Structure 1
Amino acid sequence: MSLTPAQRRAKQTIRNLVLSLIVTMGLVAAIYLGVPRDDSNRIAAVDYQTISIDASESLGQQALSPEVPSDWWANAARLETTLGVVSWYVGFVTEDNQYIGLSQAFDTNPSWESSLLSSNFQDGQIELSGLTWEIWPTINPSSPPGTTEYALLHRLENSVVVIYGTAVTADFEKLAKAISSDIN
C-alpha cells in the first residue's frame, strides 16, 4: 500500500521535527562543553597590614592589623565613615570559609555601636589575653547566618573594637587574642 502525498508530508513533518530537535540538542551540548568556565574565587586577597599603615598615617592613630592564622585571608580593608564616625574595617575569611569582620571606630558614639550591633544584645563578658570583651550574640539567628550572628566588643582609650561575623567562637577568640598582641 502506497502512501498518499498528504500522509507522506505528515510523516516528514514529524521526522523533520525529531531531526531538528537532535541537531539543536547537539549544538547546545557542543556550546556548553566548548565554552570555558572559570570556577575560581573572584574575590582577591588584600594586604590589610600594608593598607593599615596608610590608614594609620591618614588617621593619626593606630589602625589595628593583627597577625591572623596563615590559613585565613583578608578580602577587604578600608576606612569607612558611618554616622559621622571614622572606622577602620578589615574583612577576614577563616579556614572553613566563614566571615569575621573587624571594625575599629575612632572617637565613636553610642549611635555607631547600636547601628553596627542593632540585631544583637549584650550577654556578659570574656577576658582574652588581658583584654575584656563584651559578648554580643544575635537576637534572631538566621539561616543562612547574617554578618553579625556573633560579636565581641572591646573599648580602648580612643577607640572601640568590634569583631563580628559567622565564624565559630574559637575563631573569634583567636582574633581577639591577636588583637591583644597588636595592642600590646
Structure 2
Amino acid sequence: MPFTDEQRRLLLDNAYNDPRLPELLERMLIEGPGEYPMEPSSCEEEELPLWERVWSLVYHQATLYPATFVAVPFMCEVLKFSASTPEPFLYLAEIEAVRSVQQDVKNRFPAVTDELWRDYSEAIRSLGPLILEKLTANFDTAYRSEVVKASMLSLLAFSGGEERLGFALARWWPYAILGNQKIPLASVRQYEEMKHWNE
C-alpha cells in the first residue's frame, strides 16, 4: 500500500521528524508488528518491534502529530492480520483517549485533510469486530490482563462513537501507587468491600 506524496509529507511531521516512519509502516504492513523480546529495556532500537518504533514517532508524552492521523489507519490494518501481542491495543486506546479530549482537534492540524480525517475515523470504527473477536476468543495469556482488556473495551467504545466511556476505560488503572503501597481506587475499594460483605 504505497503512500501518496501528501501522506509521506505528513508522516515526516512526527515526534522526532524522523524520515524513516514511512519505511517502518511499510515494513510493518509486510512483516507484522513484531514480537517483544524477553527483556525489552536492554534492547537496541533495531531490536525493538516495529510497532514500538512506530508508536514512539506518532505519540510522545500525550502529544499527537500530523503523522499520527496518517499512521493510525495503517496500524489498524496491521492489527487485522496480526494481533498476537496486546501492546497495539493499549497504544491505540491511548491515542484515541488523547484525541478525544483535545479541543478543536481538526483546526490544530490544518494540514490533515478531510479525506485523511475520514480514513482515520473509519479505521478506528473498523476495529470493532476484531476487538469483539479477541474479547470472546480463548485468549492467550498475553490478553488476560485487566488493563489490556480495559484498553480493548476502550477501543470498542471509541469505535462505536462513545468517547467519554472510551476515555474512562483507556485510563483504567485499579490501584494508585503510594510508596510501597497499592491503594485501590474508590470504585475498586467499593467492589472489594461489597464482595467481602457478601461472602
TM-score of the alignment, normalized to the shorter chain, above 0.5 = no
TM-score normalised by length of structure 2: 0.24
Whichever structure has more helix as a proportion of its residues is: 2
Asked which structure has the greater CA Rg, the reply is 1
TM-score normalised by length of structure 1: 0.25
